[in-house]
Structure 1
């Protein structure tokens, strides 16, 4: 795979700057973004999408574009596979086209979310090299548009592959960043002399939250064994019955840890979209539950944490070994009312 080594080298620098190296101590939650609001995010994504589409051949553009209501929108999965996903594979693009595709992702996500996306792709390359599976690499991630990118009409940017699903839907100043799946295997690997952990912020938020819970709160949050995320793939919408303890029953400090955990996932989208969502989810903490299963160490297989509210659904699961002995993370962020902007 000729692009693998340069990609890993570039990712080492990008992830180091974003606080995703394993030696980092983590970063403080981002302050609310200033400047133009969500409509400006849509404008930037539309401009990046137009540049990307303009650089494609007619046949490539045909493969990338779907109608906004095409059922294929929900046909995504985090399972590995050799068959094509929606859109066009990164590996089929020229260097210029790849750069334009990544520019779309960069405008869609926050800085940390974009760095994490690139980290997930770098981990995929490391996984393929280590396991001797040439079909497992970042070239097998795909980009598609559902609907014509427009500052007024509805469209979705979809970037999918093994361990990644970005589904961000735009309609003027209305933006939904869900459903969003992020996983990684290996969770900790070396690139260009650095140890990288693309989901460092999430695991640190996990640890900070569970360590803040007292004995009684932890006992109330405990549920049975969970071996993977429960609501993961594109068509999943059957949420389990609520379990665990109400966030409103926690102390103020513990509730702050819940907010930080939520922000670790919601914050992968642009801050101008993420912060209003975090505030809306916080307003529903009196009807939101936290559930914990397995180990309190996110790097122990079986460790699991769930946030379940009227709208918010976040799961983190260390699914453990799949033939290679590594820790292996799966996580999902969904909005029960606003996935794909509620369609």
Structure 2
């Protein structure tokens, strides 16, 4: 059972099974443009908090916490779902939904729910795994103008949204799953990131022997994505693997479809910006693979350009544990937007 959901009804049903409150908010916020929806959702969420909660949930935009992120189960700052009332949880999930597409929201909330699956699988899982252990943080003052941002983060989910004067950034965005495929129980067969996995494998299997020799950069897959939780996206050396110009039309279409799966997790504005980046880089795009190419074998792939980096790794827990991420070399944590904001602020202070 994949997560490529085709109808609004099926997505709403998926969400209703996991977080019944989300479906009502999803429809309302889907009708708005992203930045007004985000600003309205953030204000409503913050207005619902009492003093102690608000102190946990809010930070200055300049705070070091703004570019701190982890996708592993570590102590976090922010306000977790478990410390919210039912009404506050609804408003928090509405804020999450404002930055995502319906498919992206379905993936996110299902990733949260997989904590229950892990709890049942592990000997000490009840104490270590928590579907309410997802933290909401707001940086700066939410508005349609000015600069601010927010983060939603917990085990296998780390989403970062930054806004400046109506412009929007949505990187890094990390989605992970453990298990990648649920092997038993009432949710047996569930694969949250099936498209990301299957399309990558489809592409490497579609290459001829000479192309594959270029694309495969390591015989064994690395244990994790190489960029990990770095604050600045970077990889050592020049891009390697097979360049898009060396692919035939069908192979190129598969690569584009794979990239668009990562784009289409996000709200339309962010997805559109990512598609513009893909068009802008043209042939300066490389696909690299490591590990086995058959289902069930540990593997890794990345798609790299001068503008962005996509990484996917499925090696842990007998290749049933996925980490995937979209990074922006200049725009992670809204750095490009915020640099303009601070430059403008300094300019206005000097002029005054």
Partner of residue 176, structure 1: 169
Instruction: Give the drift of 1:261.
Output: 1.0
- When the two chains are superposed, the root-mean-square deviation of aligned CA atoms in Å is 2.6
- State yes or no: 1:269 paired with 2:257: no
Partner of residue 240, structure 1: 236
Trace 1:211-230 onto structure 2 (pairs within 5 A): 211-224=205-218, 225=220, 226-230=222-226
- Cα distance in 1 for residues equivalent to 2:294 and 2:146: 44
Instruction: Give the drift of 1:166.
Output: 0.2
- Cα distance in 2 for residues equivalent to 1:19 and 1:203: 24
Shifted more, 273-282 versus 142-151: the winner is: 273-282
Partner of residue 94, structure 2: 103
- Cα distance in 1 for residues equivalent to 2:49 and 2:12: 34
- Cα distance in 2 for residues equivalent to 1:15 and 1:199: 18
**2:326 alignment partner, one of 333, 338, 342:** 333
Partner of residue 27, structure 1: none
- Cα distance in 1 for residues equivalent to 2:68 and 2:323: 18
8 A contact 1:222–1:291 mirrored in 2:
yes
Where has structure 1 moved over 4 Å in runs of 4 or more?
A: 190-194
Partner of residue 231, structure 1: 227
TM-score (normalizing by structure 2): 0.81
Trace 1:62-73 onto structure 2 (pairs within 5 A): 62-73=55-66
In 2 relative to 1, CA 191–89 (structure 1 residues): closer, same or farther, beyond 3 Å? farther
**2:287 alignment partner, one of 281, 285, 290:** 290
How many residue pairs were aligned?
310
Instruction: Give the drift of 1:113.
Output: 0.5
8 A contact 2:291–2:300 mirrored in 1:
yes
Gaps of 5+ in 2: 15-31, 339-352
Trace 1:75-154 onto structure 2 (pairs within 5 A): 75-81=68-74, 83=75, 85-131=76-122, 132-133=124-125, 134-154=127-147
Q: Tell me which protein shows more helix as a share of its residues.
A: 2
Structure with greater Cα Rg: 2
TM-score (normalizing by structure 1): 0.83
Partner of residue 7, structure 1: none
Trace 1:17-96 onto structure 2 (pairs within 5 A): 17-18=10-11, 40-81=33-74, 83=75, 85-96=76-87
